[in-house]
Amino acid sequence: MLAVVIIGAVIATFWTLRSTHHTQNDCAAIEPLGPQWSAMQQSIAKLGSGPGDTSDLLKIAEQESAMSDKIRAAASSVTAPDLEDQLSKWADGAALSAKAQRDAATAPAPAGGDADTMRAAQLTFDATAALGKSCPNLHL
Phi, psi of 23 (to 5 degrees): -60, -40
pLDDT of residue 1: 53
* Cα 112–Cα 120–Cα 96 angle in degrees, nearest 5: 100
| Residue pLDDT, tens place only, 75-111 | 999 999 999 999 999 999 999 999 988 888 887 766 5
Q: CA separation (Å) from 74 to 18, 28, 133? A: 20, 10, 17
pLDDT of 3 higher than 50: no
pLDDT of residue 6: 55
CA nearest neighbour of 80 among 13, 18, 9, 8: 18
d(CA 117, CA 97): 6
pLDDT of residue 103: 87
| Residue pLDDT, tens place only, 4-31 | 445 544 444 444 434 444 478 899 999 9
| Residue pLDDT, tens place only, 126-140 | 999 999 999 999 998
